[in-house]
Amino acid sequence: MSAPLTFDGRVVLVTGAGGGLGREYALAFGQRGAAVIVNDLGGDIKGGGRSSAAADKVVEEIRAKGGKIQWKTVRSSSRRRWTHLAE
């Protein structure tokens, strides 16, 4: 039997982490030891809205299960913000 896949000591950025597959990936990485950056602008499919409620919920779920979180919300089109986030 092979060893379970872990991400201890790694940082994982998950975009769209407030719902759907992004949420599932964020939770899975958190359960496997990664420090997760939850990124979700909270907009609807038409580009409106800016609620962080869904991302907040995912952050709390990861923390409740003992996961590590680094939560940042940045505009995906902002190169300067992505560079700052990576540092």
**What are the average pLDDT values for consecutive 10-residue runs of the chain, which has 87 residues?**
86 91 96 92 71 88 91 65 66
pLDDT at 53: 85
For residues 65 and 30, give the distance between their C-alpha atoms in angstroms, rounded to a whole number.
8
Phi-psi region of 42 (alpha: psi -120 to 50; beta: other; left: phi over 0): left
pTM, to two decimals: 0.79
Spell out the domain ranges in the chain: 11-86
**In CATH terms, is domain 11-86 a member of 3.40.50.300?**
no
